[in-house]
Chains A and B, each alone.
Chain A
Amino acid sequence: MVGSERLSNRLLNIYLPLVFYMVFLLFPFYWMTIVSFKPTNDLFEMEYNPFWIQRFTLENYLYLFQHTAFPEWVKNTLIVSVVSTALSLGCSIFAGYALARLRFPGSNFLGIGIFLAYLVPPTLLFLPLAQVIARLGLYNTYWALILTYPTQLIPFASWLLMGYFRTIPKEIEESAMADGCSRMAILVRIVLPLSVPGLLSAGIFCFTLSWNEFLYALIFMSSGPMKTIPVGVVSDMIKADTLFWGSLMASAVLGSVPIAFLYSFFVKHYVSGLTAGAVKG
């Protein structure tokens, strides 16, 4: 009887709450997915159970590729995310290493400055920043996002990498230095190969955030074919009639899938990066 009591306890304390959480946290995705596979007419059939697919169709997805700029948005998002991730990662490796290992004037001040930059939200800056972008002639160019996204990414990524670099035993670097290695050579040949998990965490963080960014992309990339996925979907897929739901949900699903995939492959790195960031600042 002890066994069954434990089972009912587990049911009550673990599985019941777990079901609640799964339903609450996953239902919107479930809903988006089934709507994206339904023909538009079925949405109006009130006798159909809306929680299931009666007739399966791919027409909403085909529509995206034949009648909208969705493929362009994918290309734009990919280019912007890859380049701004590379740029941010480069800057963050340098800054993280300098903060972790080098003694130089103003290092404390810069460390705090970078931490504070992590807390500056885009909503505080977007209006003046729009003027800066306009004056530099960067409106509707990839550079508008490639150059501004790093301001959101470098602070966290440098902080994360700084923490990571500090865990590498100094003795390794010291002995390399005694052998005549330069600091830069040590960074490239010793520190970076030992920091692959940290680099992955930082890279995934940067890529995800760039892919998901909304406000700057909304303002700096207002021309139709230059939009990123989130902005294009939100501003061009919602129409005045009621027939857009299927393709709207299809575009939302397609725009989310790459990030969901990337994340599930690297879930360990992502979570360790996230918690390292939160715990260490």
Chain B
Amino acid sequence: MGRSKAELKGGAVTAKGLLERESSLGILLMLPGALLLMVFMAYPFFLGIWLSLTDSGIGRPGQYIGLRNFTDLLDDSIFLQTTRNTFIYALVTVPFKAALGLGLALVLNNRMRFSNPVRAAVMMPWIVPTALSTLGWFMIFDPVFSPLSWLLKHFGLIRQNINFLGDPTLAIVSVMIANIWRGTPFFGVIILAGLQAVPGELLEAAAIDGAGMWKRFLHVTVPHVKGVVLIAGLLSIIWTFADFQLIYVLTKGGPANQTHIFGTYAYQIGLAATEIGMGAAIALYMFPILSVFAFLLLVYLRREE
């Protein structure tokens, strides 16, 4: 973080106008990005707070109504279901993603043939457009054309096709499977980077001392990757909590509004039902929860530094 004296002196010696003085050049260079972030991120954020306190609709300026949107939502059974869904969706999928990602990383960390193409291939769920790959899952979960139903029927385990997305509980499980599928490679690749930073000598020394595979994993590998798993986990919770497209493509929140999460319900109320004020309030309910995870992440990263 500290800058050398020579650099500071260099800045002072060549100080000629705005572009040469460090302080003004720094601000000037930050300006384009900061401007975009102010207009299209910070301003909408505060506008959203204002909207959530009004009864605005699309093309209809609203009246200030205080916290009514927020309190009304607490009496809305769909919103309560949405809240439950969001927590389940985020808090159940992330441990699965982390565990499967750890397994994937441990497998990929072995020397093997074709390791580069294999690594590239397993990253695909994370890389390609989620809305498009989710269409693959949309067909896998289709009541008529599902290959899963076909397989189960073929082996005589079921008689009727399963309507994966037609039943609320089954639909949430299906959506979570697709989410775990998409997020596993992210954990895999990040943990793999952590594994590759584990010094080989340390593992060898532990082996010479008689530590078995499991002990070596627990006492040498785990402490080395703990940090990256935690960071990836917090990022993943934030992203999953605020997800939209997976649910939008697979269920649109249905059947009977039972599979909404905050993002899709805010869309449904704010745009489809044109109650922008109420929609903004739904989205803002995410804010305190996201802040907690963002705060934890910030604290952890600062401590690491």
Contact = CB atoms under 8 A, between A and B. Distances in A.
Interface in B221-260: 228, 231-232, 235, 238-239, 241-245, 248-249
Identify whether the interface residues of B are mostly helix, strand, loop, or mixed: helix
A279 B228 contact: yes
B132 A31 contact: no
B23 interface: yes
B104 interface: yes
A200 B124 CA distance: 19
B120 to A, nearest CB: 5
Nearest to B279: A127
A256 B182 CA distance: 14
Given A122-B244, A132-B47, A255-B129, A110 B136 contact: no
Contacts of B294: 116, 119
A184 B37 CA distance: 23
Identify whether the interface residues of A are mostly helix, strand, loop, or mixed: helix
Contact of A91 (B10, B36, B107): B36
B134 to A, nearest CB: 8
B189 interface: yes
B34 A170 contact: no
B129 A212 contact: yes
Which of A10, A101, A123, A259 has the most chain B CB atoms inside 10 A of its CB?
Answer: A123
B215 to A, nearest CB: 16
B266 A115 contact: no
Contacts of B248: 214, 218, 234
A151 B298 CA distance: 20
Contact of A208 (B16, B127, B298): B127
A131 B39 CA distance: 12
A120 B283 CA distance: 12
B10 A174 contact: yes
Contacts of B286: 121, 123-124
Which of A128, A208, A267 has the most chain B CB atoms inside 10 A of its CB?
Answer: A128
B54 to A, nearest CB: 11
Interface in A92-132: 92, 94-95, 97-99, 101-107, 110, 112-117, 119-132
B274 to A, nearest CB: 11
Given A25-B125, A267-B120, A177 B14 contact: yes
Given A14-B110, A32-B135, A219 B45 contact: no
Given A14-B110, A124-B287, A177-B10, A255 B132 contact: yes
Given A32-B139, A121-B239, A94 B30 contact: yes
Interface stretch (B76-84, B140-148, B164-172): B140-148
11 contacts: A18-B107, A94-B32, A110-B34, A114-B33, A123-B283, A127-B270, A256-B129, A267-B116, A270-B123, A278-B232, A281-B301
Q: Which 10 A-B pairs have the closest CB atoms?
A: A104-B26, A121-B242, A123-B263, A28-B136, A91-B33, A102-B26, A230-B131, A128-B48, A275-B193, A94-B29
